[in-house]
Amino acid sequence: MKQAVLLLVAFFASSAVAAPISINVQGDAMIVADQGEPDIEEIDDEKASGRSKIESTLIAHPEVKHIVLLGDFAATDTALAVAKIVEDYGLSTEVRGRCAWACFYVFLAGQPRTLGPHGELVLARTTVDPAVVQRMFEVSHDWSDQYEQASSMFDAAQKTVAASMRFMIEHGVSTEFALRVIRATQKDPFIPSVRELVGAGVLER
């Protein structure tokens, strides 16, 4: 239960209202987009509904070979879970517009990866609004006090950063580039040029 609460905090980091993903299949492409705010979907104790929705769509549409990403994906843990599906199905990935925050990890899972003419990667680590932290403490019975909550969230954040770094490096991204992603904030994001993306191993030459 505590892990689910921490994941919920990540999802509501930028908005009090979750914005579910939208999925649209066009030929052999599945377009996955958010609907405004930087959240992919709500999750419960067992699984991310966004992952379930994507996987069920792939099962229903075996012709899909390509995934197009649009929008802001706030939760790193869920993005990594969706990335695993992309890899399992051997999908290619493309960004045609804004692909922000954890959207990057889903993009990295594709082979090959394409950045369209109007594509833009907006990169930063996940942050949590203090008001959200307070609200989660008030509704959760998993922590005896705010010190225990802070300790748990710090531990979860370390694991998320480690998982993010490991994922980027395992997918051919240079260590220097990966560190720039982790250091960036949503108020001061890292928006790499195509040249930087090629140099870092994100895009092929």
Tell me the per-residue pLDDT of 68-127, one tens digit each, with 9 for 90 and over: 999 888 778 888 989 999 999 999 999 999 999 899 999 999 999 999 999 999 999 877
What is the spatial distance between Cα 40 and Cα 34, in angstroms, rounded to a whole number? 6
Assigned domain for 94 exists: yes
What is the spatial distance between Cα 19 and Cα 48, in angstroms, rounded to a whole number? 13
**pLDDT of 47 over the 80 cut:** no
149 or 2, which is more confident?
Answer: 149
pLDDT, position 146: 82
Assigned domain for 200 exists: no
138-162: pLDDT as tens digits: 777 677 888 887 888 788 888 888 9
State the pTM of this model.
0.80
Six-digit token pair at 154? 């710090």
Rg (CA), the chain: 17
Assigned domain for 122 exists: yes
Six-digit token pair at 158? 């370390």
Q: Which domain holds residue 10?
A: 2-195
The number of domains in the chain is 1
Assigned domain for 202 exists: no
CATH number at residue 71: 3.90.226
Assigned domain for 6 exists: yes
